[in-house]
Structure 1
């Protein structure tokens, strides 16, 4: 049994930050005080702004001084990014957490990986991970953190699209995306010539290039997966978003096809916001109606 600690999630996070970073975190309600380079508001040209941020704009400084200025500005931006992630995590921390402490090595690597995360949406993902780890230490593997570090905003949007089509089964809680079935060779196959039926996931917002990108960064397994041959009369129980779906296998020699999330993908999936895609669910039920009889 996990011991529940009376300390709140916010208190635990503040204690952790003070112990590991030497200072507490700012309140999430405090205004964003991102460090601005000197003269930032005086430039209209974006290239000049970038030059100022790099430290190369100050021509009156020596080469060594410009390099030092750039490094100082970089450190300030990184510190700002880290503090914004931790401050946002306070908003997601639960009132109560387990008595187990967060692994300090995990937190150290978390901090290092967030230093260069400046996109607001990506910072939000990192904040949710930290809050989740505070609530339940060990929930997110270090491998998942390194996977998220590689993820671009474009890939995060692809994950969001994939999440809208994902479901779980009672037998295996790892989420998956169903897209078709194969009927093993049988008399029915020889008579009808129909052995496979597929959904075009692109119709429901998830393109094949997006699938490949999720495979490339390690969120989906690299190949399409086939279920074992379904037994006639077998009961299927799927959880699609908040809806439960129950069906009975009504045909023999049927194998379902799906994309399956990796362990890292399964850990990250609950963090992205998504709405049920009713059109996809109805299309999937229609596709499978000759092989599975759904209740309701």
Structure 2
């Protein structure tokens, strides 16, 4: 992948350039601002690395045991070590540049003037350098873009969790997040299984072990009815089944508890990376489950002039939950 000089292409990209320069050195700075000595040293290192790699390729010596007859005797140990280091570092650099490119594709000029923490920057690039999977590189690019936009969006613990997350675990978390309302997922039964929606109990245990969800089966979320809740880019209106008037008075509000699976603080941070995608089959199952147990009805709602609602739900229209 070719890395272009990104400076001068907008506030967001300029901040990205600055973060990359601080995180991995001078690679992304225009060469004109390098000191002459630094530039010469950089050139020498590149030439040495290229020579070592050419030798390694010619003799096919990488990863061959020291006593192997395949090793050409005149190739010194230090040169073989240099070839190995060059190979590893090249892969790390490619990984970093792919992640940065994904960040550049996501970032815009609406970024905070607050600087990204240097410890966070160092930890980020150390971890991102080890990510070779293309899908996970895109995720790391989103994290970098999000942190540049608003420093503090993703903590060090989030980086550590993400660093150890497999592609399969990330995919399971993505499917679970399609079901979430705020920081929780309604239970549709008395267990923590969502098999019908591609999430097994084993997945829940795995995500819990990864630090993304709480595995306790007896947790509940409590709020007063009627209420409006955000759901995957839409709104849900919840009311007691006996209430048919949308403009219900807050004074008549009834507090209800609903069984739920909760995301951890790290899970909440990483869930922001996932594009909204409502699962209406799931919400109909939620409505049926809590409707039978708690006499609660769930609707899809359109809220005009929403501004995060209340004010007696502004102008609210409710509809039966749509089909996918």
Specify the TM-score bucket, using the shorter chain as the normaliser: 0.7 to 0.9
Pair 1:73-2:87 in alignment:
yes
Pair 1:179-2:183 in alignment:
no
Pair 1:245-2:236 in alignment:
yes
In the other structure, the counterpart of 1:219 is 212
Quick one: which of 235, 255, 258 aligns to 1:256? Answer: 258
- Please tell me the root mean square deviation across aligned C-alpha atoms, in Å: 3.2
- In structure 2, the residue corresponding to 1:288 is in which secondary structure? helix
> CA 1:11–1:263 in 2, change beyond 3 Å: closer, same or farther?
same
Q: How big is each residue's C-alpha offset from its partner over 1:167-213, in whole Å with a ceiling of 9 and x where there is no partner?
A: 12xxxxxx2111147xxxxxxxxxxxxxxx56851011111111111
In the other structure, the counterpart of 1:102 is 116
In the other structure, the counterpart of 2:179 is 165
Q: How does 1:252-291 map to 2 (within 5 A)?
A: 255-273=257-275, 275-290=277-292, 291=294
Q: What is the deviation of 1:72?
A: 1.7
* Structure 2: tracts of 5 or more residues without a match: 1-8, 31-49, 243-253, 300-318, 320-324
Q: How many residues align?
A: 251
Provide the rounded CA distance (Å) in 2 between the counterparts of 1:253 and 1:100.
41
TM-score normalised to the size of structure 2?
0.68
* Structure 1: tracts of 5 or more residues without a match: 1-5, 27-34, 43-50, 169-174, 182-196
- In structure 2, the residue corresponding to 1:271 is in which secondary structure? coil
- In structure 2, the residue corresponding to 1:151 is in which secondary structure? coil
Q: How big is each residue's C-alpha offset from its partner over 1:93-123, in whole Å with a ceiling of 9 and x where there is no partner?
A: 1123111111122111111111110100000
Quick one: which of 294, 298, 306 aligns to 1:294? Answer: 298
> CA 1:235–1:25 in 2, change beyond 3 Å: closer, same or farther?
farther
Q: How does 1:125-164 map to 2 (within 5 A)?
A: 125-164=139-178
- In structure 2, the residue corresponding to 1:237 is in which secondary structure? strand
Provide the rounded CA distance (Å) in 1 between the counterparts of 2:29 and 2:143.
17
**Structure of greater Rg:** 2
